[in-house]
A and B are shown apart, each in its own frame.
Chain A
Amino acid sequence: MQPVISMNFIDYMILGAYVLVTIVVGYALKKYMKTSEDFFLSGRSLPSWITSLAFLSANLGALEVIGMVANSAKYGILTVHFYWIGAIPAMIFLGLFMMPFYYSTKVRSVPEYLKHRYNEATRGLNALSFAIMTLLMSGISMYAMALLFELTLGWSLTSSILLSALVVLIYVFFGGLSSSIYNEVIQFFLIWLGLLPVVYIGLHAVGGFAGLVSRIPPSFMHAWQHMGSASDNPMGVDWLGVVLGLGFVLSFGYWTTDFLVVQRAMASENLSAARRTPLIASFPKMLVPIIVVVPGLLAVALLPQFKVVPGGPSPDYNSALILMFARYLPNGILGLAITGLLASFMSGMAGNVTAFNTVWTYDIYGSYIKPNMPDEHYLRMGKYATVFGVVFSIGTAYIVQSFPNLMDYMQLIFTFFNAPLFATFLLGMFWKRTTPWGGFWGLLLGIMAAATHYLMYQLHIVHYSSEMAANFYQAWWAWCTDFVMTIVISLFTKPKPESELVGLVYGLTPKAHSDERFFRRPAFWGILALVVMVVLNLLFW
């Protein structure tokens, strides 16, 4: 097949400059890596503007970008639910209520919190499932990138995979989490600067926002109006599924317990900065639809192959963004857009690799295989873990080739691991009676409930109007099972003495007293973010 995009020397110069800068930044960080905390937690010294942008970029991988543009071309503005209701309340909750427990206890990872709050078994279960999940995700990222570059630029699958793996390996190996975070910040600017031109040119070509509205189906412009029942909207989900499955369980599960994102906030210089991290990140998060939803809508309005024909063949929505690039971007700016995508693929992968090496070193290797070694030993282990993390990711990249729909597959993984985990955290942080074994069995049964539901759906015992609805409800039932079973088992088992729970549970933790000015206070940013989110939802009702 002929590649859709042809890059010239200017485009390659832009791409090359990016690769060069990431490697130089990673190498320059090498001399700061003296202890394992420097490597795994950036020495807890980063200012909140950096951690916020990294927090956001960790979730703005190219797979999400391409997938969400595809969703927008398919479902219209309904896609904003992933950015507004499906992210903002959870980010605010993390900043205002949960971050103090993570940051003040000086735990180094999410599984480590579970060890202090519950027991070794709960930590082991979470560490193991998380390590597997990150390697799968990183493999998915790599494969998706290689596939995209094969189709659009004509690069071979193997050369894209090896190139990206090598670059990520070099910069994470030298600079650890700091490298990963710095690259996520660079990626944040590149993805915005790379995608805005296509929005600008597209809107110019279609005759402005009014022109856009007149050329797409009216139902594509409303976020809530058609959510009354699952059959009324193209997503096949009702409002209850969106609010409970996506807005509550999946979103809270992802944003508040996934170590990949929480790790970025833990790298902050102090508690207040750690709490501000998700809160500040929520503002650019609300704007992300400008660069993902608008290009999807523009594709429907401008490109003939995406014209909505009732009963017609379904177009390949995943190519929407690339076809917009190919149609509207001249060389030069084209290289910038491709570089933005490459940057977000690589930083998505680097994020997974850094979360993996931390959990592997602290929670698996340092707890079960070789505890009580000097710090240099763990620093060295972290570097080795980076190498085999990347090697395993290359392996998974070839395994996931056989999976048909990567986006649904990712959501599916989250319903298994993150959704029940959120119930375990909620009870652990806010109910001191929750017992260690209640936590462990609740989590295990929650994961098994997700598996059972998945099996029942696959065997057609339960039915949903779409794959997405099945995922949302699966998340909800996994969460409920964990929540109820943790309470029931806790009532029959022995709780931890209160003296061991100080700092870990709400009500047993002294309130942080703050004399900062109002614009530095987390509560101010949290309330402001909530107000903006409500207004945006009303505007696009």
Chain B
Amino acid sequence: MESSEPRRHFFDLKIPLGSLLGFYGLLLLVYGLVGPRDIYQKSANLDVNAIWGVIMILISAAFLLSAFFERRNRSNS
């Protein structure tokens, strides 16, 4: 390889990205559960906020967990 020193990465993008999506997920889920109901007439009576909130929380968890495990592996080795 061209350089012997370990390459310097910038900070891990997965953390801010995962946090942002997690915040959105929670916000949508809570609003979907306790917010007004009549707005869902628009969306064919599907509570899309709650559904999409759950999906975004899962995506966010995937980012944050993978960032967490990568960091732990790096400090172990």
Contact = CB atoms under 8 A, between A and B. Distances in A.
Interface string B31-42: 110010001101
Nearest to B41: A330
Given A29-B10, A332-B49, A186 B27 contact: no
B43 interface: yes
B7 interface: yes
Interface residue tally on A, bucketed by range: 35 or more
Contacts of B52: 193, 197, 333, 336
Interface in A25-70: 25, 28-29, 32, 42-43, 45-47, 50
A201 interface: yes
* Chain B residues touching A, majority SS: helix
Given A43-B8, A45-B9, A333 B28 contact: yes
A14 B43 CA distance: 19
A386 B44 CA distance: 46
B28 A332 contact: yes
A538 interface: no
A17 B43 contact: no
B64 interface: no
Interface residues of B, number: 31
Contact of B49 (A21, A182, A204, A330): A330
B65 interface: no
Interface in A322-376: 327-333, 336
Contact of B28 (A45, A204, A336): A336
A25 B19 CA distance: 12
Interface string A248-273: 00000000000000000000011000
A162 interface: no
Interface of B: 1-2, 7-11, 13, 16-17, 19-21, 23-24, 27-28, 31-32, 35, 39-40, 42-44, 46, 48-49, 52, 56, 59
Interface of A: 10, 13-14, 17-18, 21, 24-25, 28-29, 32, 42-43, 45-47, 50, 178, 182, 185-186, 189, 193, 197, 200-201, 204-205, 269-270, 327-333, 336
Given A17-B23, A330-B48, 5 more contacts: A29-B10, A201-B46, A329-B48, A333-B28, A333-B43
